[in-house]
Amino acid sequence: MKLLTFSALLLSCTTSTTSAFSPFATPSSIATTVKRSTSSPISTTTKSPSPFHKKNHAVLHASTTEASPFVQGPRIVRDQLPVVYVYDHCPFCVRVRLALGIKNVKHNLHFLQNDDVSTPTKLIGKKIAPIFAIPEDDFIMGESLDIIAKVDSDERFGTTGQILPSTSRKDLKAWQKSVQTLLRTLQRPRYVATGLLPEFQQLDGRHAFIKNHQLPPYEKPEWKGDGTDENPGMSMEEKLKLYAEAMSNDPAPLLEDLNAKLIELDDMIYSEHHCSEGGLSMDDIDLWSRLRSITIIKGVQWPTKLRAYMDNLSALGDVPLYDEMAL
């Protein structure tokens, strides 16, 4: 598999890189492509295929706990397929993709460019994702949880109530909050650095994300603006520099913390098929969708049960992981 790679990141809007791909640079500064190794950083785990090289079949892990895997219903193919407008990295968009996949509903995926304001605004009145459209009803709606509730209560999309309600587990919510700063630091630079996510294929999309997504320790009010007279605040040069520095920093200390947190989470999940006792539920829709982006971080050590959980739901929901493009 050949992927674009880079040896140095752009430190400002005006500085260019040499002989390597910089996700923050213009296309003219992309000089070479190199073959990237596909060996897993963790030899004891099974990796998910790249979104662009996903196999048409996948074998689910054998159960190692007394829990049964979800039994998927027949393929649902409407004459007019529903459409989901998404960003690939967005966990709220992944919720909808995962739910539709679990219910085996064939649908069209429309990946929005990150700087595309006009398309979602024309559809639903503002720049937001996911957006769900049912062409046969001339119906459009937003908000991931509302979309899932709509799909799982509509008999045209298979047996209703297949996805159990949330159990409102406070331990999972607390765990997610405990890793928020850690994951923002590791994930956000890598989203734009891969050069592969569909919403970041062009420089404008990458810059739009960087402009609006702060890196720790900055908070959103500190990050606003772009340093111009019309939109004062932190300059784009400074934001690009901070993203480049975050990507070039040694990730080892953060990885050590993250790996420890994943061990904690491994003890919290009920089985490799669903995270809460009772069966596959909205707990899984939310948790898995947030965990998926961790696979874009190279060097993560997944505990056995948690890794099987990631792979099983990836196969069941037909939503690929990022292992092959991990940085």
Amino acid at 251: P
The pLDDT of residue 5: 37
Residue 141, burial from CB neighbour count under 10 angstroms (0-12, 13-18, 19+): middle
Average pLDDT estimate for 153-163:
97
Q: Where are the alpha helices (DSSP H) in the chain?
A: 91-102, 118-124, 144-151, 170-178, 180-193, 203-212, 220-223, 236-248, 252-268, 282-291, 304-317
What share of the chain in percent tops pLDDT 90? 75
Query: How crowded is residue 316: how many other Cβ atoms within 10 Å of its Cβ?
Result: 21
Residues 317, 287 contacting (CB under 8 angstroms) = no
Radius of gyration of the chain (CA): 20
Average pLDDT estimate for 202-225:
93
Chain centroid to CA 119: 21
pTM listed for this prediction: 0.81
Pick from 22, 7, 18, 28: nearest CA to 207: 22
Write out pLDDT tens, residues 86-116. 999 999 999 999 999 999 999 999 999 999 9
Write out pLDDT tens, residues 110-123. 999 999 999 999 99
Q: How confident is the model at residue 60 (pLDDT cuts 50, 70, 90)?
A: very low
Q: Where are the alpha helices (DSSP H) in 165-202?
A: 170-178, 180-193
The pLDDT of residue 66: 64
Average pLDDT estimate for 15-40:
33
The pLDDT of residue 226: 73
Q: How confident is the model at residue 26 (pLDDT cuts 50, 70, 90)?
A: very low
What's the full length of the chain, in residues?
327
Dihedral sign of CA atoms 213, 216, 222, 227 in order: negative
